[in-house]
Amino acid sequence: MTRHLLRDDDLGPAEQREVLELALRLKADRFALRPLAGPRTVAILFDKPTLRTQLSFTVGVVELGGHPMVVDGKLAQIGVRESVADTARVLGPQVAAVVWRTFGQDRLEQMAALAGVPVVNALTDDFHPCQILADLLTLAERWGGPAALAGRTLAYLGDGGNNMAHSYLLGGATAGMHVRIATPDSRQPAADVLARAQQLAATTGGSVLVTDDAAQAADGADCVATDTWVSMGDDTDEAEAVALFSPFQVDAALLGRAAPGAVVLHCLPAYRGKEITAEVIDGPQSAVFAEAENRLHAQKAVLAWLLERS
Ligand code: NVA
């Protein structure tokens, strides 16, 4: 059966741990696995802006022995010039895997249904599972390995309905973490994602909390994470976002409520003075550049893991 990573809960708890262990191994020995030797090609498609994702997937595919074919969605116009279904049937027989950053989750699902090779979500409107694996890897490195994630508290402040919030809910609950989302009432996580995270947490010993009180989320947290207030494709106007999200800014006072030495994460790009202050993102508790590097190791592990099982 072909395996995919379309959303965070495509990996069960034991599988997520395996991927994180593999990422640690590949970080220690970058050329240890060459599942794409040939070289086999991976199609890496972007319908939204990118820097980190293009970089880390390109480098990662090369390091796994393969050939990255990066396609700008403006050229390919998937779903406009040609349906997603036809694109999947054209790509599938020629590539080893498809990595796609796009808008609707349904597009990715159609690709996965017909490509016949592993499909990896490189960010959709709904989820960003590669980023969460990189985040969990970053925390695991600091806390003593993937098994040490369970029971720890991660507080995310900002847009509770965006891809990062959804992926923290699913990926964090899968890891057995206590995930707290602080967000305004108007930006609640999708009800089905929240319900799924609660269901996962019940099996892993984690928990899920959604609150409009930033302090309540941050109190004693082991990790404090945030993200841009206006995601790609979100048409919320800048002034409106500032008014809505200012109470959720990660600043020194907020971080001071967290556990001593709490780790600060941000998937980048960051807007200093908006969702996070310069003092915090550039301060000693920030792990954001290690987190950015860990995209490489986490994604190599995902590709190697999916290819082995497909
Ligand atoms: N929520 C952000 C994540 C960027 C990596 C966005 O979708 O723009």
Question: Is 295 among the residues known to form the active site?
Answer: yes
Closest atom of ligand 1 to 162 CA is 1
Cβ-based neighbours of 286, under 8 Å, separated by 6 or more: 264, 266, 280
208, containing H or E segment: strand 207-211
* pLDDT recorded at residue 37: 98
For a mutational test of ligand 1's pocket, the pick from 163, 181, 268, i.e. the residue with the most ligand atoms closer than 8 A to its C-beta, is: 163
End-to-end CA separation in angstroms for the chain: 6
* pLDDT recorded at residue 72: 95
User: In sequence order, what DSSP letters do the residues of 53-101 get, joined into one string?
Assistant: HHHHHHHHHHHTT-EEEEEEHHHH-BTTTB-HHHHHHHHTTT-SEEEEE
* pLDDT recorded at residue 206: 98
User: What distance in angstroms lies between residue 229's CA and the mean position of ligand 1's atoms?
Assistant: 9
Instruction: Give the closest residue (by CA) to ligand 1 atom 7.
Output: 231
Question: Is 257 among the residues known to form the active site?
Answer: no
- Ligand 1 contacts (CB < 6 A) are 123, 162-164, 227-228, 231-232, 267
| pLDDT by residue, tens only, the chain of 310 residues | 999 999 999 999 999 999 999 999 999 999 999 999 999 999 999 999 999 999 999 999 999 999 999 999 989 999 999 999 999 999 999 999 999 999 999 999 999 999 999 999 999 999 999 999 999 999 999 999 999 999 999 999 999 999 999 999 999 999 999 999 999 999 999 999 999 999 999 999 999 999 999 999 999 999 999 999 999 999 999 999 999 999 999 999 999 999 999 999 999 999 999 999 999 999 999 999 999 999 999 999 999 999 999 9
User: What distance in angstroms lies between residue 295's CA and the mean position of ligand 1's atoms?
Assistant: 14
Please, how many CA atoms are within 13 Å of residue 64, restricted to the half-sphere of its CB? 32
Any idea how long the chain is?
A: 310
Going by C-alpha positions, the residue among 154, 298, 284 that lies closest to residue 226 is 154
Name the pTM for this structure. Answer: 0.98
User: What distance in angstroms lies between residue 163's CA and the mean position of ligand 1's atoms?
Assistant: 7
Instruction: Give the closest residue (by CA) to ligand 1 atom 2.
Output: 231
Residue 102 · residue 45 · CB < 8 Å: yes
Please, how many CA atoms are within 13 Å of residue 206, restricted to the half-sphere of its CB? 30
For a mutational test of ligand 1's pocket, the pick from 54, 159, 228, 265, i.e. the residue with the most ligand atoms closer than 8 A to its C-beta, is: 228
